[in-house]
Structure 1
Amino acid sequence: MGPTAAPADGYAAHLAAGRVLYPGIRLGRPGRARSYWLVIALMRALRLRWRVDVEGAENVAPGAAVLVGNHVSALDPVVLVISAWWRVTAFTKLEVFQGRGAAFFRLMGQIPLRRGDAAATDWAIGMAALALADGGMVGLYPEGTRSPDPTKLHRLHGRVLLPVLQGSPDVPVHAVTTRYTRRPGRRPLVQVRVSPPLPIDARTMAADEIVAVLRDTLLALGGQTYVDRSAREAKAERRPEPPA
């Protein structure tokens, strides 16, 4: 593991450090929530509302894996796990743990992340390393926020992505894309595509090479077009200007 990764036997101490970072915020047990499988079992009822088509789940061997996805909906992590029955721990912006849906993310054992805070980022990366050491899967969405245009893939950021891969370089990495199609009079179609393990060697490859492999695979799987700018910038442009 890299310098930011928490030791595999230090979960309790690492969780305690998170409570110091986030005083007054209930964190649950990221990566180890005992309620995870019950929540997934209950959420499988959502398949009555959507038609979920997963292709490539057989490419993922049992055990630890990093799943790197495009991000077009808040439902992206959900539609995969309710179909594949995997334990996936994803990074979640801290604001969610302070809002009305906080209980859901605690029950799912997701990792809170305060954006723009170096100490919080290191803590979250260490928690992801622990989840991988437990044999779980970690979901990453390096666009940083949901794309304002589902046909576009925006610039991938390495701030969290690269340390996670470099900290657990022997864990296989897969690209995952999700696409939603509304069909009048029929259930919406959700298409999830999962790649085979990618040719990524985080020990020897430069950061831009790793990002390029992921970008090109996501584009090929998801059928999106690439925009070399952040999704956050694109969202900001779409917001109406405040009145003068």
Structure 2
Amino acid sequence: MFWWVVKAIVGPLLVIIWRPENRGMENVPDEGPAILASNHLSFADHFFGPWPLRRRIVFLGKRDYFTGKGIKGWFSRMFFSGVGVIPIDRTGGKASEEALATGLRVLREGRLLGIYPEGTRVPDNRLFKGKTGVARLALQGRVPVVPMAMMHTFELMPAGSMPRIFGLPGRPGVRFGEPLDFSEYYGREDDREVLRLITDRIMAAIGELSGQEYVDRYAADVRAELAGKAAVRKDDDEE
């Protein structure tokens, strides 16, 4: 219920303020399970991505969204629970297996599962290397993957800032590509080369929709590297 309330309230505001430009909604199945694999530019993706669809998307999100304290933590838990985000532990190992099991459960219930293969919001406006969990889910769940590209949300709401209204390079929105069929690889979900091949094909499809420059590195590694450089510069300034 909360999701539809948010959609009814926020949707008209998105139209009035930003006039989103959305394309390819016909590529999302009207029923049955499917994976929607998207780039992840901004917190605003949570609004602009699902909004034009009649079906609700269930996203897997980091557990940190649900562990905050105080009023801010309470609001975060309410919001992400209400819009259908399922908390997962992304530390790897057993936690990754639990995340995979959660995603498979969503697909077996016949729902749309949203995934950000880059694993985190990107540090700049480029497309980064995808993690292979999306490929494992596609093969084990035996479902199509719909590439999904967020447009201009990075400029609209950079990390740590309020949404911008003016000065954007284009109208924000989302583009959905034609479903990708990986049935020829069913039964090979333990083959690392196959998982990388499928993941790279998914990222390439997202890139064709978004027009982003591709970087063959994980976004989390680049963010950590940039954070380290920033810390070094801060120490230099203080000396």
Scaled by the length of structure 2, the TM-score of the pair is 0.78
Structure 1 residue 130 displacement after superposition: 2.2
State the match for 2:186 in structure 1: 203
Shift of 1:96: 0.7
8 Å CA contact retained: 1:51, 1:187: no
Over residues 92-148 of structure 1, what are the superposed CA-to-partner deviations in whole Å (9 max), with x where a residue is unaligned? 111111122111011122111112143333233222222222221101111111111
Structure 1 residues 185, 197: closer, same or farther in 2, change over 3 A? Answer: closer
Relative to 1, partners in 2 of residues 1:207 and 1:187: Cα closer, same or farther, differing over 3 Å? Answer: closer
1:123 aligned residue:
98
Count of matched residue positions in the alignment of Structure 1 and Structure 2 = 208
Deviation at 1:44, TM superposition (A): 1.3
Q: Are the equivalent residues in 1 in contact too, given 2:136–2:195 (CA < 8 A)? A: no
Matches within 5 A, 1:41-190: 41-47=8-14, 48-63=16-31, 64-99=33-68, 100=73, 101-150=76-125, 152-158=126-132, 160-169=133-142, 171-180=143-152, 184=166, 189-190=171-172
Distance 1:38 1:187, change over 3 A: farther
Q: 1:231 aligns with which of 203, 209, 219?
A: 219
Change in CA separation of 1:224 and 1:185 when aligned onto 2, cut-off 3 Å: closer
The CA deviation at 1:188 is 6.9
**Contact 1:59–1:196 (8 Å) recurs in 2:** yes
- Structure 2: runs of 5+ lacking an equivalent: 157-164, 189-193
Q: Report the Cα distance in structure 1 between the residues aligned to 2:98 and 2:181, rounded to whole angstroms.
A: 27
Q: Choose 69-78 or 88-97, whichever is displaced more.
A: 69-78
* Richer in helix (by share): 2
| Structure 1 position 192 matched with structure 2 position 174 | yes
Report the AA paired with residue 184 of structure 1.
Answer: F
Deviation at 1:212, TM superposition (A): 2.2
Q: Report if the CA contact (8 A) 2:146-2:179 is conserved.
A: yes
Q: 1:233 to 1:117 in 2, by over 3 A?
A: closer
Q: TM-score, normalised by structure 1?
A: 0.77
Q: Which moved more, 1:53-62 or 1:199-208?
A: 199-208
Which residue matches 1:222? 210
Question: Alpha-carbon deviations, 1:3-23, whole Å to 9, x = none?
Answer: xxxxxxxxxxxxxxxxxxxxx
- Which residue number in structure 2 is paired with residue 241 of structure 1? 231
- Deviation string, structure 1 residues 169-223 (Cα, Å, up to 9, x no partner): 1x22110001116673789721311001113234166112201211211111110
Provide closer, same or farther for how the CA distance between residues 108 and 70 of structure 1 changes in structure 2, counting only shifts above 3 A: same
RMSD of Structure 2 on Structure 1 (CA): 2.3
Unpaired runs of 5+ in structure 1?
1-33
Aligned amino acid, residue 162 of structure 1:
A
